[in-house]
Amino acid sequence: MDEEEYNLKYRNLRVLKSIQEYLKADGEHQTSLYPIRVPDDLLYQVLKLKGAEKADELIHHIFKLGLTAWSERLYSEVFGSTESLEEFIELVKERNRE
Q: How does pLDDT run across 6-25, given as a tens digit for each residue?
A: 999 999 999 999 988 888 88
> Phi/psi of residue 51, each to 5°?
100, 170
If you ran DSSP here, which 8-state letter would residue 79 be given?
A: T
Query: Model-level pTM?
Result: 0.76
Element containing residue 8 per DSSP (H, E)? helix 3-25
Query: What letter represents residue 87's amino acid?
Result: E
The predicted structure's pLDDT at residue 30: 66
How far is the C-alpha of 58 from the C-alpha of 64, rounded, in Å?
10
**Residue 23 or 31, more confident:** 23
Is it the case that residue 26 has pLDDT exceeding 80? no
Nearest residue to 85 via CA among 21, 17, 18: 17
- Per-residue model confidence as pLDDT tens digits over 54-82: 988 888 898 889 999 999 999 999 999 99
**Residue 29 or 14, more confident:** 14
The predicted structure's pLDDT at residue 15: 94
How far is the C-alpha of 23 from the C-alpha of 43, rounded, in Å?
23
